[in-house]
Every structure is written in structure tokens, then in C-alpha cells.
Amino acid sequence: MERKHLICVGAAKAGTTWLSEQCRRHPSFFMPPMKEIHYFQSVYGTIDRLAPIRRLSQVAKFLTASSKAVQAAADEKKRQRLVRRQSNLARWYALYASGRIDEKWYLNLFDAAAGDQFLCDFSAASCKISDAGVEAMHRLSSQTYVLYILRDPFDRLVSHTKFHAKFVGDLNWMRRAQQKEVEAYVRDRSLIDDSLYAHRIQQFRKRFGSDRLLVLDFDELRRQPLTFLDRVSTFLGVPGFGSVDIERHTNPGPELVLPEGAFDAFKAETDAEVERLVEIGIDFAAKWRR
């Protein structure tokens, strides 16, 4: 029996973590312990995030967090419950940390899923893979479905820059940076690449068509989350998500005031991207025109 796959390919800072948390609580979806596996990006992209040392680092973080959680348990009954839960998770991390990175390794990470569940991979950088990567994604199953959440390209870039600075420990430097330094920082790290959606949408459309690729609007997620989730459940043919905690924010960026005009140099690029999106039929992108 072919398994059903749900792959959310991006975009970064466009609500992928929030959506993954909704799927984690829904019985139709199996979400592995790590939201972002990075398989397709590592094998078919430009950055390898699955080198042995990186995987061992993730395992070390899990073991440290598990140990702290068990030690902090309020009573013995809770402690034993945590030990059982963390032991089950440890088996998954053992699969993740070992073996050669190939399709068999990737599929083994979903072994615990029930037969009728969607196997979920929410690696936001998967949008930046080669044609061979899209083909490999398509080859997984005739029931592989792709989600791509789009956010105003300019707003996404600003949010991504702040988050990246926090993630890599550059916040103190960023607070002192001048306009041109911020611009160079963004360029050097190619952070705008994640805002260039149109050609990637075309890449996925070519292989998956409109019946297995759903392009979603971050603005709808933020303002009408239940409508947004209804769109996802209808597309996938699963029961509705029901109520959600719309006030709960996941993976928020830091509070960071950047120099005035720090992103002016990118406006022409993001404005042009909006026009490309409208040209390929992403009608909701028209509201991002400035």
C-alpha cells in the first residue's frame, strides 16, 4: 500500500511551525519528533544539514532536554511516565542519527505512523531544491501532497533577517549595525532567496499539478486561521481541524529595531516578485503591491 505524504516546503517565517503544531494534534497526520528533517534540502539542495556531526548535535540536545525534564518531574508517577515517553522518542532519534542518508533512511523515520496517516515533513527550506529533488519528492508516492505558504515577500525578508540573527547569535551585533551593514548581512546570507517564490511554484506545479500542490496565504492564516485550516483539510480530504488556539504564537522572531531604510535596497526585487506571482495566477499576491 502506498503511503500518503504531506510535505510543507516553505516559506520560512510564513507560519509553517504553527501549521505543523495543528497537524501534530490531528489524528490524520503523523509528525516526527523533529519538525524539519531537512532530507530533500540536504540531498538535493545546496546545504547539507544532515552531516553526522549535525545529527549527533540534535541527539545531544534531545538527551539533555530529556534528562532535565525527568529530573524536574514533580513525583515518581510523572517521572516514570516521562521516562517511557522519552524512551520512545529516543528510538526515533537513534534512527535519525545512524545510517546512510538516502530514501530508505528517510522513510524509516515514519515507521511509527499508522497506515492511513499522512507522513508529515515540514522542512521550510525544501522549496529550494533542484528539479531532481522535486522529482524524488514526487516519486515517494502517488499520494504525495505539497503545501507552500506565501507571505508578503518584503515582510517575510524583514522577519527572516531578525530570526536568523537570533538563531545564529548575531542579535547584539544587529542592534548596533548601520543601514549598509544590515543590507550586506542580508545579501551575504542570501536571505532574500526565500522570498522569491514564483519560479519555485512553477517548478512544483510542473511535477505535482494543481491537484497535489496547494499554495496558501499567510495573511489568511493570521487573520482567519480556521478558514485557512479548512482549506488544508478540504485539499487533503481529511476531517476538519476543529477549534484552534488562535492566540498561541509559535517560533516568534525577536523584538529588534533595525536602522531606517535598512531594507530599501530590496524593495525593487520584492515588488517584482509580487508581479511575477500575479502573472502566474497567485491572485492573493496582488494585495502586496506597494
- Do both 63 and 190 map to the same domain? no
- Do both 80 and 156 map to the same domain? no
- Do both 251 and 158 map to the same domain? yes
pLDDT band at 249 (very low <50, low <70, confident <90, very high): low
**Residue where a domain terminates, one of 60, 83, 100:** 100
- Do both 81 and 162 map to the same domain? no
- Do both 166 and 70 map to the same domain? no
pLDDT band at 52 (very low <50, low <70, confident <90, very high): very high
Show the domain range for 66: 51-100
- Do both 225 and 271 map to the same domain? yes
**Residue where a domain terminates, one of 72, 100, 128:** 100
- Do both 269 and 132 map to the same domain? yes
Q: Are 7 and 207 in contact (CB under 8 A)?
A: no
pLDDT in the model for residue 153: 98
Q: Exposed (0-12), middle (13-18) or buried (19+): which is 165, by Cβ within 10 Å?
A: buried
Count of domains forming the chain: 2
CA dist 270 → 47, 58, 93, 266 (Å): 24, 34, 39, 6
- Least confident piece of the model among 127-136, 220-229, 251-260: 251-260
Three-state secondary structure call for residue 104: helix
- Do both 173 and 117 map to the same domain? yes
Average pLDDT over residues 129-135: 98
- Do both 105 and 222 map to the same domain? yes
